[in-house]
Structure formats: C-alpha cells, structure tokens
Chain A
C-alpha cells in the first residue's frame, strides 16, 4: 500500500503571506496525485490533480497553484493568502481511477 506524507500538520499564516505545502508519496510509482480542501464541517473540494510530472489540472479558479516537480512530489502554493484559504488541506494518491485513494494526514491552515 501507499504512504502519503504531508507537512506541516498545522500552519497559521497572516493574510497576504505566501504558502507552500508539500506532499510526498511512498510505495508506488507514477501515481495520480490530488489536492483537496475541506472547510470546517464541510465536504472535500478537489483543487488540483496530476497524472504525471509537470501535468496539472486545476478544478477551481483561485489564488492557489500546484506543481509536480518529481514523480512522487506534489506541491500546493500561493503567493498571497486570503482569509477564505483557511481549511484542512489533504493530499491523496492513487494508482489509477479504479483503485482507492490514499490520503495523507492533512495540513490544517488558518489564515488570520
């Protein structure tokens, strides 16, 4: 099975500051990778997904961006955070669409 690492676990940032969240995957090669955001008490919103190095699909237009510099590394970034960027950010990995998605432990981001 796959292991997904995310850090940091918790982050408090001021409005207008930059953001970089990293996700790395162990136990598989060439996975599909995903970034989700979950607001408090809400569902999972797909932000970005990637089927290969340098291939990024954006689902929601916003001030966030994603990059995949290596096969098992997925990075979520922002140049200037907004209050509405607060939430629980989850990285997920799957071998293909017919298999389960493995989730990382998540990063809880609070923008003040």
Chain B
C-alpha cells in the first residue's frame, strides 16, 4: 500500500535537472509532495488532485497520471537549497489519511 519512489537517491551538480517518481498500486485521488531536511520536519511543496493540472512552484513542478497511478516531481536548474529527502504522500480512497512513500534522497553539490 505504501507508494514506491524512484530513484532512491540522486546526486546533482547545481543547475542540473532531476525527476522523482512516485507509484501506487491503488487508485489515487490526490498526491502530495514534501521535502525534509536532515533533522527537521517535512515541508509541503505541492498537492495534485485527480483531474487537476500539472502544478508548479518556482522551478519545481509535478504531474499526476491517474491512469498509471503515479506522479512525478520535476526539479529544474537545481539549487543547493534543494538538497533533502523528498516524499510523496498518497490519499488512496475516500479517507483522511496520507500514506507516505519510501523517500528519495537528493544531494546538490556546487
């Protein structure tokens, strides 16, 4: 039931792009994306709803493919501040709970 993220880890140079994928075995109604810095709480990036558009937040955007039951997070021209662990959260079915994915650790170097 836990969404699977890929890749598990990414290493980038500043300015490079990255894509993080999130796949679920169950039908999705929404997908949340969060970033967590080491030792800190997760911070919300964006939410995608079923039937909604691709969202964007500065140079970070995401898509939601309902048929494939997956979402992708796109990081463009990465900055040092993008480093952290990215989690997708899926709300499968008509519930109020969020199940977080396995996480993708992103490291950006100068």
Contact = CB atoms under 8 A, between A and B. Distances in A.
A63 B43 CA distance: 29
Q: For chain B, what secondary structure do more than half of its interface residues adopt (helix, strand, loop), or is it mixed?
A: loop
B98 A46 contact: yes
Interface string B31-67: 0101000001111100101000000000000000000
A49 B47 contact: no
A35 to B, nearest CB: 11
A43 B41 contact: no
B96 A51 contact: yes
B25 to A, nearest CB: 16
A90 B95 CA distance: 20
A49 B44 CA distance: 18
A54 to B, nearest CB: 15
Interface stretch (A12-20, A69-77, A79-87, A101-109): A101-109
Interface of B: 2, 29-30, 32, 34, 40-44, 47, 49, 87, 89, 91, 95-103
Interface of A: 32, 34, 36, 42-44, 46, 49, 51, 57, 59, 90, 96-106
29 contacts: A32-B96, A34-B98, A36-B100, A42-B103, A43-B100, A43-B102, A44-B100, A49-B96, A49-B97, A57-B97, A59-B97, A96-B96, A97-B95, A97-B96, A98-B30, A98-B47, A98-B49, A99-B47, A100-B47, A101-B34, A101-B42, A102-B44, A103-B41, A103-B42, A103-B43, A105-B40, A105-B41, A106-B40, A106-B41
